[in-house]
A and B are shown apart, each in its own frame.
Chain A
Amino acid sequence: MTQRPFRLIDAIRWGVYGGIAVVLIALIGMVQAFSNKGIVADRVTMSQVLVFGLIAAVALMTSGRAAATKPRLIIPAGILAGGTVALFPALLALLITQVNLRSVLLNASPELADLLLPGNANDLVSALQLVALGGAFGFAVGALTRVPARVRRSLVSAGVGVILIGLLQAVFVVIIPDSWRQFLYKANGLSTNGAIALFIVLTVLDYAWLRGRPLTQQQIGRLSAGRRRVLRMVVTLIMLGILAVLPQLLGPFLSEVADIIGIYIIMGMGLNIVVGFAGLLDLGYVAFFAIGAYTMAVLTTPELPVVRNVIPQLNFWEALPFALLISFVSGVLLGIPVLKTRGDYLAIITLGFGEIIRLLVLSDAFKPILGGAQGITGVARPRVGDITVVNPQQFFYPILAGILIAWFITARLKISRLGRAWMAIREDEDVAAAMGINLVGYKLMAFATGATLAGLGGALFGSKLGSMVPASFNVLVSINVLALLIVGGMGSLPGVIVGAAALIGLPELLREFSEFRWWVYGIVLVAMMIFKPEGLWPEATRLRELHEFETPVPVETAEETETAAVPA
């Protein structure tokens, strides 16, 4: 495919797209909502990061395109793209100051104009200033493409890192020592010195990491198998050590977030077997989550006299095996009729099943057993010795145990005969059958294992909340788990953790943005599908599948694949 040489009109075209995006963001109220969140205290707000981030993205892309075909246009392209993007919010601000649009566009307020334009007066001069600023920013970004690629990468990573650290202030102030905190942070955002220092440190670290990694990998590669195993053990132990003290580091609020992420990781591990390994699109995964949670609740609550007359009240540990067993059995029972269908049909049937379970729980008929719309309270908490696990910091441990078990099981299954059979089914069902693989049997095994892990997640969830309502088990849970797999990387175990942290953890931490949560969620998913369809931490097989025209002969040994499946 021959590429058309880059022209400056392309820079303007992309600038227009970027500009429209900025206007859109401003008009839905994001700029105003984010202006209260400081990244660098009193200097840079989140809304500025957003607007200039978009400018940077557009400028980066256009100058990148220019670099490919017309290197001498890099700088002009950057300036032009940046200026064009900035032109749109500038015009919007001028328009707002002249005409009252609020009857139609609720967010087009004078405050918005204040936020968009630099300086104090909202006049033509400041509008031109904004355009110039955009152009200057575009120039800087364009100049960046002239910098050696490694340095550029480090600079960009460090910039993004500083923004993230500023954004996640609430997390970092809890974790880092007091002296650091006083240096790095102010009340609302990073301190100026802190931000600069952080930027330099991150740049150096990233650069060192990029330089050092291949060397280290070589050294590790030269180690004998026994030594490598020792190294892996040491790394694993260190990780476990960190995890063991994590709740103390995080404090109650962040532990709560970690718990939620953890429950989603357990579910993600389970769905990963079904969708990632065996390629069965299950959209009703929440059903098994609900079944696990309700089994736990029904068996352990002191309420529900109808049930209590028949089954004695159990404690958490007694009820857990039943929760797993019933999830497993329902996985098998649902699987038998469903798994003979393929692809799209399977997705629709499972989607329906998920809703059926929720409606059954809601129904009056089952109210004496399942609590109906009011739900069930008084679900048992796990007891270890004399301690009842109640608060989020304590609950981190049973959830962590669940994650480790789920990881262990999926990692082992993946590299076994079962994992290969699932791979075969995912890649080509007919051929898999011709290899002697019993399709229904192996699909059932994937489905039931996934269901059991969802049940484990559900049981922990129910017990952690202490009470539950049917509303917690809607189709969004299924979608969330699926989305975290996609974002993390289908079939990849570390991907599940990364995906859960990104899609479940970030929205919990960034409560300021809750209004825009689903909007951002949608954008992130679309962007992922376009730019990084293999996910944030892809599995090797999937990477090859999606980038077949880009990557030449990536050779990997069976041993490496095995290493990747072990927690490290």
Chain B
Amino acid sequence: MSQNHNHILLAHKVSKRFGGLQALTDLDIAVAFHAIHSVIGPNGAGKTTFFNCITGFYKPEEGEILFRGQPIQGMSPDRVAALGIARTYQNIRLFTNVTVLENVLVGMHRRLHTGWFGAVLRTPTTRREEKKAIKEAMELLRFVELADKADYIAKNLPYGEQRRLEIARALAGNPDLLLLDEPTAGMNPKETEDTMALIQRLREEMKITILLIEHDMRVVMNISDIITVLDFGKKIAEGDPLAIRTNPQVIEAYLGRGAAAGKDYGARTTAAVEG
């Protein structure tokens, strides 16, 4: 497949069932290197299920997911993470009772090598590694502007900062592909603005490919290179923001059949989703 060379992640005919519920049906998604690729769709469309299939928490019944050409469907989550895929969660899932710095250090797990004996004996290698890990963690915290709060307990951070910390923790593993599950959910306009800027910096400065689930259409339309629209587990549209904005099927999915007959599709989609 020639696509392998242009795409970091390829999902091919992925299907996932929960009992009688068909959560994903023959889903094909191709994520290009260094893209910001958004996945949108109404609630229950299967977006998070798709993320869980990629990261190894669900095993799709059918289909194939290739990461850099290597099949990863059905692989355990830790092995997927070790390949360089990191994620954040829709409802923030930090290690709430430990410090901000410790959260990032856990995220670095896959890049460190200290084993049982190294830890107990605290060999020079271990010390060097720990020192370097802390230094890099602090750099990451500076990147997300949390360096001055490294010693805070994670749960005491305000909401927006918890989101940023979760991103920092995901970045700590040096991923090539970062899955962000509604990173701006519950944020005020200012925080949303900052997060958008951060996501763009991730791509520009860290050369990370971003796969994004997002409900805020302003965010999606502003920063996505390509958008995939899911509805009831199926892909109903794909294209750049302009194409999606004017796609009748998308409008139908969001607003129902009646609205699709209207004229000014784009404005309506935006208004409906934002309102």
Q: Which residues of A contact B (CB under 8 A)?
A: 408-409, 412-413, 416-421, 423-424, 427-428, 430-439, 445, 449, 541-542, 544-545, 548, 553-558
Q: Which residues of A contact B151 (CB under 8 A)?
A: 555-558
Q: Which residues of B contact A419 (CB under 8 A)?
A: 119
Q: Which residues of B contact A438 (CB under 8 A)?
A: 76, 78
Given A423-B98, A553-B152, are A437 and B122 neighbors across the interface (CB < 8 Å)? no
Whether B114 contacts A417 by the Cβ 8 Å rule is yes
Stretch at the interface among B59-67, B86-94, B200-208, B228-236: B86-94
Q: Which residues of A contact B77 (CB under 8 A)?
A: 430, 433-434
Q: Check: B57 CB closer than 8 A to any chain A CB.
A: yes
Given A436-B173, A544-B97, are A413 and B153 neighbors across the interface (CB < 8 Å)? no
Q: Which residues of A contact B81 (CB under 8 A)?
A: 433-436
Whether B55 contacts A434 by the Cβ 8 Å rule is yes
Closest 6 CB pairs of A and B: A436-B110, A416-B119, A436-B81, A433-B77, A417-B114, A427-B95
Given A437-B78, A438-B78, are A431 and B95 neighbors across the interface (CB < 8 Å)? yes
Given A416-B114, A420-B102, A420-B106, are A554 and B153 neighbors across the interface (CB < 8 Å)? yes
The contact of A412 among B93, B98, B105, B120, by CB within 8 Å, is: B120
The contact of A433 among B76, B122, B155, B173, by CB within 8 Å, is: B76
Given A417-B112, A435-B81, are A558 and B107 neighbors across the interface (CB < 8 Å)? no
Q: Check: B18 CB closer than 8 A to any chain A CB.
A: no
Whether A423 contacts B102 by the Cβ 8 Å rule is yes
Give 24 pairs: A residue, B residue, CB < 8 Å, sorted on A: A413-B120, A417-B114, A417-B130, A423-B95, A424-B95, A424-B106, A427-B97, A428-B93, A430-B93, A431-B89, A433-B78, A435-B106, A435-B110, A436-B173, A437-B109, A438-B78, A449-B116, A544-B153, A545-B97, A553-B152, A555-B153, A556-B151, A557-B151, A558-B134
| Best-buried of A418, A436, A445, A555 by chain B (most CB within 10 Å) | A436
Given A434-B86, A435-B173, are A558 and B106 neighbors across the interface (CB < 8 Å)? no
Q: Check: B126 CB closer than 8 A to any chain A CB.
A: yes
The contact of A416 among B76, B110, B126, B152, by CB within 8 Å, is: B126
Assembly CA distance A542 to B97 (angstroms): 8
Q: Check: B247 CB closer than 8 A to any chain A CB.
A: no
| Best-buried of B78, B93, B114, B126 by chain A (most CB within 10 Å) | B78
Assembly CA distance A289 to B81 (angstroms): 37
The contact of A421 among B96, B109, B169, by CB within 8 Å, is: B109
Q: Which residues of B contact A427 (CB under 8 A)?
A: 95-98
Q: Check: B270 CB closer than 8 A to any chain A CB.
A: no
Assembly CA distance A31 to B207 (angstroms): 76
Which chain A residue lies CB-closest to B95?
A: A427
Assembly CA distance A434 to B58 (angstroms): 12
Whether B110 contacts A558 by the Cβ 8 Å rule is no
Assembly CA distance A420 to B97 (angstroms): 12
Q: Which residues of B contact A417 (CB under 8 A)?
A: 105, 109, 112, 114, 119, 130
